[in-house]
């Protein structure tokens, strides 16, 4: 089974244009239970998310 590690990180270039797409992608991963979530304590939930697939 594929597992994903999600790192949420503050980016100066963040525009917010892809928030909904990221939310849908992460929700799909949660539903199939392949999501591991790690959040930087400085990051707000609406900020940019970077996703990496891990084994």
Quick check: 33 pLDDT over 70? yes
Mean pLDDT of 6-33: 73
In this prediction, residue 48 carries a pLDDT of 44
43, 8 in Cβ contact below 8 A? yes
CA gap 10, 3 in Å, rounded: 23
Going from N- to C-terminal start, the domains of the chain cover 3-54
Give the pLDDT confidence score for residue 55 in this predicted structure: 40
Pair 49, 4: CB distance under 8 Å = no
Task: Name the average pLDDT for the chain.
Answer: 65
Whole-model pTM: value is 0.42
């Amino acid at each position: 089974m594929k597992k994903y590690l999600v790192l949420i990180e503050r980016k100066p270039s963040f525009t917010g244009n892809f928030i909904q797409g990221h939310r849908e992608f992460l929700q799909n991963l949660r539903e199939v239970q392949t999501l591991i979530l790690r959040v930087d304590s400085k990051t707000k939930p609406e900020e940019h998310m970077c996703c990496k697939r891990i084994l």
